[in-house]
């Protein structure tokens, strides 16, 4: 089977020669830039200057020779700008924590006396830093930039979030078009488009790192109380976001058409290690209607399959996701409470395609032996891929300290499943 044939069969719950493999095609199936060359080395590939295309999660731009070596069946289309709004072009070298990386020309940061790095939105060092990386850390974390609202703040979402979401400019649409044409004509890979604007309440969206001066509620703790304190405000914010979503989906489909197989719609987390981050009633009222509207548009107007990312213990949310029209659930965090692969497959495997769900990233991948990784991944991959319906990947991005030997063992298991 070609990659494209393998993916399309798996997405339609048909048995394949092996499960399709995803490495680097989404923001949540990538490789830490700190670990990138160690993984290239374990596959017998030469070291390369590492392009840092997403600074907050510190992700490497995965080269096609490594995708092929790892058995990858996908390519990803991303926006040509980072999450802090500089263009990923005109690459130049920088040294971060003793390692050299290539960054987009607009990557702008300062260093504090304690070694903390501060990253700026729109390449503007005169604005408040959008993110910070403490010395020895592997990520840029959001900086709290919420303006104190005060007791007299008027909760008007149309004012507070007026500049939060804007429709793609023509240059971005032509970039999408060019990328889709190239990958479709010159590879046999399946294409994932990383949309993400459908991430209503996404914890990456709330602080809005792409804005120099974000207004409204930008603090995670404050945001999570809003459905109870200011319900109309949340719904109005999501209505605004949905308006942009539908317009962007329409324009993107005009640009890429059915060359795309999967639309990554949302990265909003609904769970943590032991439970949901909100009640099911809260999800049903504040999140589900808007997510469903995105899914409905996609299914009514395109051939794309829909994908969301949500970490945590979200077993009880799965029937709700199915009712939105979701096709693919990522990452299937098997280390979270209730996320047993066999139970998920038995109860939802005829409706959902599972992405991830292979070897525990918090234990086995981090501290286990390659043999332990292989055995765990092989068992879970065979469970989830039976009769199709699985995309094999690491559970979330491959972290900076994950042993390269364990990464290879994981992907060997995918090929043998």
CA 284 vs CA 71, 227, 287: distances in Å = 39, 12, 6
Burial environment of residue 166 by CB neighbours within 10 A (0 to 12, 13 to 18, 19 or more): exposed
309 three-class SS: strand
pLDDT for position 151: 80
pLDDT for position 152: 85
**Could you tell me the pLDDT band of residue 380, with boundaries at 50, 70 and 90?**
very high
Q: What are phi and psi of 375, to 5 degrees?
A: -65, -40
Q: What angle do CA 27, 275, 314 make, to 5 degrees?
A: 50
Say if strands 390-391 and 353-355 run parallel, antiparallel, or are unpaired.
parallel
Averaged confidence pLDDT in the chain: 97
pLDDT for position 22: 98
pLDDT for position 150: 79
Cis amide prior to 331 (ω within 30 degrees):
yes
pLDDT for position 148: 82
Note the pLDDT tens digit of each residue in 82-108: 999 999 999 999 999 999 999 999 999
The terminus-to-terminus CA distance of the chain in angstroms comes to 15
| Mean pLDDT value across residues 231-259 | 98
pLDDT for position 108: 97
CA 80 vs CA 178, 194, 265, 344: distances in Å = 12, 11, 17, 36
What lies within 8 Å, CB to CB, of 156 at 6+ separation is 233, 236
pLDDT for position 153: 86
Domain segments of the chain: what residues?
A: 3-46+62-84+151-416
Is pLDDT above 90 for 149?
no
| Mean pLDDT value across residues 172-197 | 98
Note the pLDDT tens digit of each residue in 339-373: 999 999 999 999 999 999 999 999 999 999 999 99
Note the pLDDT tens digit of each residue in 264-316: 999 999 999 999 999 999 999 999 999 999 999 999 999 999 999 999 999 99
What is the CATH topology of the domain spanning 3-46+62-84+151-416? TIM Barrel (3.20.20)
Query: By mean pLDDT, which of 214-223, 236-245, 259-268 is the weakest?
Result: 214-223
What lies within 8 Å, CB to CB, of 48 at 6+ separation is 37, 40, 63
């Amino acid at each position: 089977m070609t990659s494209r044939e393998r993916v399309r069969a798996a997405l339609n719950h048909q048995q394949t020669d092996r499960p399709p493999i995803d490495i680097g095609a989404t923001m949540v199936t990538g490789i830490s830039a700190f670990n990138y060359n160690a993984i290239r080395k374990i596959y017998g590939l030469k070291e390369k200057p590492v392009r840092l295309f997403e600074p907050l999660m510190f992700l490497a731009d995965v080269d096609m020779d490594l995708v092929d070596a790892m058995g990858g069946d996908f390519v990803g289309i991303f926006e040509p700008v980072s999450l802090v709004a500089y263009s990923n072009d005109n690459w130049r070298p920088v040294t971060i924590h003793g390692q050299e990386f290539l960054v987009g020309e607009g990557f702008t940061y300062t260093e504090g006396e304690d070694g903390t790095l501060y990253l700026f939105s729109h390449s503007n060092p005169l604005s408040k830093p959008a993110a910070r990386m403490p010395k020895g850390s592997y990520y840029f974390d959001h900086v709290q930039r919420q303006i104190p609202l005060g007791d007299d703040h008027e909760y008007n979402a149309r004012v507070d979030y007026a500049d939060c979401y804007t429709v793609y400019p023509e240059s971005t649409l032509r970039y999408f078009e060019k990328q889709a044409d190239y990958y479709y004509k010159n590879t046999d890979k399946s294409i994932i488009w990383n949309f993400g604007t459908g991430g209503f309440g996404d914890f990456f969206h709330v602080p809005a790192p792409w804005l120099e001066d974000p207004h409204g509620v930008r603090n995670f703790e404050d945001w999570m109380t809003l459905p109870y304190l200011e319900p109309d405000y949340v719904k109005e914010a999501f209505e605004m976001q949905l308006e942009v979503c539908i317009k962007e989906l329409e324009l993107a489909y005009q640009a890429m058409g059915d060359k795309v197989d999967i639309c990554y719609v949302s990265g909003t987390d609904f769970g943590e290690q032991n439970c949901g981050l909100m009640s099911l009633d809260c999800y049903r009222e504040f999140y589900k209607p808007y997510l469903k509207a995105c899914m409905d548009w996609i299914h009514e107007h395109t051939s794309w399959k829909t994908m969301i990312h949500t970490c945590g213990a979200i077993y009880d949310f799965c029937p709700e996701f199915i009712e939105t029209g979701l096709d693919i659930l990522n990452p299937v965090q098997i280390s979270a409470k209730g996320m047993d692969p066999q139970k998920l497959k038995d109860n939802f495997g005829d409706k959902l395609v599972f992405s991830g769900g292979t070897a525990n990233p918090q234990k086995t991948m981090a501290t286990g032996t390659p043999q332990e990784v292989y055995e765990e991944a092989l068992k879970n991959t065979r469970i989830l891929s039976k009769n199709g319906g699985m995309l094999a990947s690491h559970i979330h991005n491959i972290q900076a300290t994950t042993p390269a030997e364990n990464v290879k063992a994981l992907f060997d298991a995918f090929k043998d499943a």
